Amino acid sequence: MSLYNAFVEEAGQTKELITDNEALALWWRMQQALRAAGQVFSWDDLRFPITTVRKGSGGAEPADVSYKGGIVLNFTNTATKTIYFIVQMSHGYYEGTDISLHLHYAPTNTNTGNIVWQATHSWANVNDVWPAPSTINLTRAAPGVTNQHTKASFSTLSGTEKTLSSVLICSLSRLGADGSDTFTGNAYVVTSDIHFKMDTTGSQKEFTKL
């Protein structure tokens, strides 16, 4: 008995029996119709924990710091510190929609000066040529509360014509030596992520959405 028919039986309903494959095909047709009407999507995170990223070199590397029982990265207020990471878009990605990059950090003092963050990305579909990296700067005031879980959000990245399994080559920096970075403390970066829209729970085919 298919899962669909088991649910029907449990509900005490009388329906024409269908196979699991038929039920799956029906589900995908329903999702396609809702997508076409722009009526179905949800948000999710693509996460890249700080413990998995690559650090800069030659003085640009943020130091590991023991913090609250774990290890975080220290982005100081005296120099540019940089990390590098790779992101692959999920098979549930709502193809062609924009995404946004966020970082989560803790300030080390109560100063409310500005922190200047910078992100770069080069985003390519499978079989496309990676373009030159684009740069986005973000200036945000620190919250004025030591150790507060603080989120900084960059402007959206255009996902026009981007597909599932497309890949972004990225970097994230604090421009601590920049004159506009006036926060006197360090920023302990805990994690970073990309928010993206999902319109399916995966893909119907292995390498394409439908």
Quick one: which of 203, 207, 206, 150 has its CA closest to 24? 203
Q: Is residue 206 part of a domain?
A: no
pLDDT(41) > 90:
no
> pLDDT tens digit string along 58-69?
889 999 999 999
Q: Is the pLDDT of residue 202 over 80?
A: no
d(CA 166, CA 130): 10
Residues 55 and 137 in one domain: yes
Sequence-distant (6+) residues with CB within 8 A of 130 are: 122, 123, 124, 169
Angle between helices 3-10 and 20-36 (to 10 degrees): 90
For 149-158, the pLDDT digits (tens) are 999 999 999 9
80/134 same-domain check? yes
Residue 203 lies in a domain: no
Q: Is residue 46 part of a domain?
A: yes
Same domain assignment for residues 106 and 130: yes
The confidence score (pLDDT) of residue 207 equals: 74
CATH number of the domain residue 103 falls in:
2.60.120.200
Separation of CA 4 from chain center:
34
- Domain membership flag for residue 208: no
Residues 89 and 151 in one domain: yes
Q: Could you tell me what percent of the chain has a pLDDT over 90?
A: 68
**Whether 112 and 151 share a structural domain:** yes
The sign of the dihedral angle between the CA atoms of 125, 126, 131, 133 is positive
Averaged over 13-27, what is the pLDDT? Answer: 61
Q: Answer yes or no: do 164 and 90 share one domain.
A: yes
Q: Which two tokens stand for residue 174?
A: 């604090």
The model's confidence at residue 28, banded by pLDDT at 50, 70 and 90, is: low
CA-to-CA distance for 24 and 168, rounded, in angstroms?
Answer: 31
- Domain range for 31 is 1-40
27 is a domain residue: yes
Between residues 204 and 133, the one the model is more confident about: 133
Average pLDDT over residues 120-127: 98
Q: Are residues 112 and 68 in the same domain?
A: yes
Greater pLDDT, 40 or 205: 205
In a domain, 204, yes or no: no
Specify whether 187 is located in the same domain as 99: yes
Please tell me which residue, 171 or 209, carries the higher pLDDT value. Answer: 171
Q: Are residues 52 and 31 in the same domain?
A: no
Rounded average pLDDT over 167-185: 97
Mean pLDDT, residues 79-97? 94
145 shares a domain with 64: yes
> What is the reported pLDDT for 19?
67
Total structural domains within the chain = 2
| CA–CA separation, 181 and 185 (whole Å) | 10
Confidence of residue 49 (pLDDT cuts 50, 70, 90): confident
Ranges 7-11, 172-176, 182-186: which has the least confidence: 7-11
Q: For residue 120, is it within any domain?
A: yes
What's the Rg (C-alpha) of the chain?
22
Q: Note whether 28 and 56 are same-domain residues.
A: no
Residue 177 near residue 80, CB atoms below 8 Å? yes
At residue 3, the pLDDT reads: 46
Is the residue at 205 inside a domain?
no
pLDDT value of position 7: 45
Quote the longest CA-to-CA distance of the chain.
Answer: 72
**Average pLDDT value for residue range 94-112:** 96
Closest C-alpha among 176, 139, 174 to residue 155: 139
Question: Mean pLDDT, to the nearest integer, of 112-118?
Answer: 98
127: CB partners within 8 A, 6+ apart:
none
CB atoms closer than 10 angstroms to residue 161: 10
Does 128 lie in the same domain as 27? no
For position 51, what pLDDT does the model report? 85
Give the pLDDT score at 201.
Answer: 75
